[in-house]
Every structure is written in structure tokens, then in C-alpha cells.
Structure 1
């Protein structure tokens, strides 16, 4: 019944009803009629048969389980073997590909190295050629420069020797009498007068040196003793030395103080006062712009006027230039004198 798929535990037997004979019943040989068969004996037989079939099934299940486990073990072994084989093949393939790539890289590196070495050698050859050519040209230029310098030095020595030893030939013609300088007047004034006289008389370098020697008087001529003999024929050297000694560059601050403290004295003519202010302003601001110098002269002139009424009138009617300011003040002074009662 279990082989036929019938559940023995749930099967209900009906002894009083005639049922078709099953295969199990056919196998049982009953020496007695069915009606007289004991139900318990049938159940015992059936239980025994069920136990046998269960044992057989269990043994078959055990055999099947063993076979499946053996098959699974063999499959696992085969998988492991296949995986191992594939890993080995992959490692071999990786190793082979890595060796091939390394060989290709080495070959390419070798080719690049050879190309670079060839280019470097070519460039080095060109550079050496250029350096050799440049060194040759530089040597030639240096030689020519040394030769030119030697010739210039010899020419300078020759000119100096001729200047010291040759008789002085001059085209000196005196049209305008040159000024003299003893330090009592500003050096810039003397220099300006001397330059104008030189231009008017058309003096050359020799004439200017000779005239300067004669023009220096008293303390101003003492500077000639400090000049070396080979430089005494140079007009620029002589004038620069005298300017360092008597120039007004270091006295600008003194002139500025004198200009600020200059006021018209009692019984001093306005024209004389204006001239003195103009001279001090020129000495104190020799390098300044004309506009600035004009403003300084006008301001100091008006501040120094003694007459308060004239100062007020000059302030009330300002002029653009110093000359106009002085002229306006002189006009006011004359007007004041004429307007006084007899």
C-alpha cells in the first residue's frame, strides 16, 4: 500500500463490505475465508510490511544520500581542480603578457635612448662648433680692442706731451674786456660774465685758459697751486676747481636766511632794496623754476617794505612779475612824495 502511495495510518478497513482486492491482498495467502480472517492479524502483517518497506526506503535513501554526497564531493573536487587549473592558466597568461610587455618597453626605451643620445651628440657638436667660432671671434675682437686702446693711450700721451711742450699759439683778440674774480662777488655771476665774454671774443680753449689765469685775483688765484701741472691747460678742470672753492652751492641756506630777514633800511631807496632782494633770491634759488623764483622775490620784497601804507597798496594790487611789482611800488612812492604838502 505504501508503494502504491496509500497512507496506511489513515486507511480505513471495512471488513463487512466487499472491496476489490489490492495487490497486497493478492500476495497474502489466506487459508481461511475473508470473513473469518482476523483484523488484528491483518494489521500486524501490514505493519510488518510497512516496517520492511520503511527500512528499504531508508536504506535506499541512505544509499541515495551517500551517492549524492559522493557525487557532490566529486563535483566539488572537479570544481576545485578546474578552478586551480584556470588560476594556473591565468597566472601563466599574466606572467607571459607581463614578460612580453616588459620586453617591448625595454626595446622602446632602448630605441628612445639611442635617439636621444644621437640628438644630444648632434647638439653638442653644433654647440662646440659655435663656441669655437665665438671664441675665435671674441679673441679677434679683444685683440683689436686692446690694440685700439693702446693706440688711444699713446695718442693721449702724445697730445698731453704736445700740450705741455709746444709753444702756445693763440688767436687772442680782445673785443670785450674779461671780468676779474677775487671772491668778493658771487662765483656764478663771474662765471656767467666770463662765459659771455669768451663767446663775444670768440676764444678757443687756449685763450680761455690764459684769460682765466689772468682773471683770478687774490684768494681766488690760490686754487691754481693745488691743480696738477698736467691739468692746468684744461679750462674745465680750472673752472670746476674754482667753483668747488668759491661756488655758492653750500651757501644757499645762508642766502635764504638773509633773504627772509632782509627789510628796507631807514633812508634806503626802494630801488636799492629791490635790487638787493633780487640778488639774494637769485643766489638762494639758483636752480629753482622761474615761476617759483618770481613768487619768492615778490613776497620778500613786499614783506620788507618799510612804509606800511605802501605795503598795503602793493598787497591790494598784486602783479604777475617782480619787475611790475617794483615798478608799481616806485610809482606809489613817487605819488606819495608828490602828494605831500609843501
Structure 2
């Protein structure tokens, strides 16, 4: 830098000094010296400024480091406070939930008690109504039979022994169930329904059992029941064959009736097996018998459906053959006419 100052001319030095507020010295050496002192002062100021900046930077770094340390501590404290707050919130929520649950349980218990009280009242009302109905029923049972019969809306049909007792018994039980009869009322109704030879059975009832419904029913079973006819029905079932002009549906219905009469207590599987065998045996067409046996149907409705299908197919084949015969005859007639002409 000294070489640079020495190389400057006097006017240049004066101009530089005047820029910096230094003037009035004419000697070059003095000018150079004065200018150099000025520059050195400026450099010292800059150094001091730099030093002050460095000190400030160091202070800032120290403050930042302390702030970071304090920040970590503060963050740890905040995190701890948050954890404590969460635990407190969870405890409060648990307490609230427990309180709510207890309140709900208490409310449910109160409702259950109210419902139980209502049910008890309803049971009392039902018991009272049942007792009243029982009293009314007993009063009706004591009324004369003629007046009682006039109040009934459903009367069983009369029985003269011409229809099977098992069928009539079901009709009578249906009427008794609809009317709500007890055994005494059933005995009166059945006695009034007997006609002809069936009414003569009343003479065989002992005097001490004249109002016993069970005794009357047992007597009807002995006189008109199907138990003593089982062997007759079995013979009819074994000898049953399809009659001339009888449809497969009619044959199936009669076979089913006879099987139930012969085996009244058998299960459905046995009934179906016996009915299918009897139906196949009774079918008049031998080829149709073989087809049903080959099909291996297990129930009577399945066997009937298969037999009807085969019968329809056979009839369709016969109709086609008839049409072909007619067409062949027409063709032969046309050929004969052509030859004569």
C-alpha cells in the first residue's frame, strides 16, 4: 500500500485528502504520511468493528446454545405435562364412563322392576280371566243339552255306519275342537248324531257308563272300526289291479287308501315303500311296470308322476305311428290311381 501512495502525484494526493476532509498540506511526504495515518485509523476501526462483530456472533452462539438447552428442557417439561394431562383426562373419562354405566344399570334395573310389576299385574289379570272363563264353562256344562246344542255354531254330521268310522271320527273331533266341548259335551253330541244301526249300539252301554265318552268311543271302535277289517284290506291290497278304463290317478288314490288301512301305525318310509310296490304291481301295462321298477322311485307321488310321463310318451308315439300309416296308405292309393290311368 505504501508503494501505491508513493506513486501518487501531489494533486492526486490532495484530491484524495480533500475527499476525506484532509487538506492544507502541500508537501508530498507530509501528504503521504497524513494519508497513510488516515488509512491506518480506518483499518483499526474496521478491525474493531470486526472484533465487535465476532464478539457479538460469539454471544449469539452462546445464547443460541443456551436457548437450545433450555428448549430441550422446556420440551421435556411440556411433554411431561402433556403425559400428565393425558393421564388425568383418561382417569376423568374412566370415572365418567363408570358413572354413566352405573346410571345406565340403575336405569335398566328401574325399567326391569317396572316391567316385572306390569307382568305381575298382567298375570293377575290373566288368572282372573281364566277363573272367570272356567266359571262360565262350568255354568254352560250344567245347562240342558237342548239349549246347549242350540248355542253351538258347528254340528257334526250324523253317523249311520255307512261311512268309515275313522273318517267320521276325524269330522267329529274337528267339530268338538271348534266348539270347545269337554268329554261330557262330546258324549251328548255323539249320542245325538247316531242313526240306524249305529244308534242301536247305545243299548249295549252299561247304565253306570251311560255318560262316559271314552266307553262310547271304544264301543264304536269295536262295532264300526277298521281294526277287524285289516285282513280284508290286506287281501284287497294284494289282489288290487288296474281296472278297465281306470286312470293311473284313481289307481294311486285307492292304493294309498288301502296301504294306510292295512298299516295304520307304520312310518312314512315304510308306507311309501309298500305303496310303490303295490302300485307297480297293480299297473295293467307290463312294459310300464318294468319302466317304473327300473326308475327306482321311492315315493308313490314320484312313481305316479313317472308313470303318467311314460303313458303320455306312449300315447304320443302311437299318434305318430297312426299319422305315418295314414300317409303310407295315401301314397299307395295315389300310386295305384296313376298306374290305372
Larger Rg computed on CA atoms = 1
Select the structure that is richer in helix.
2
> TM-score scaled to structure 1, two decimals?
0.47
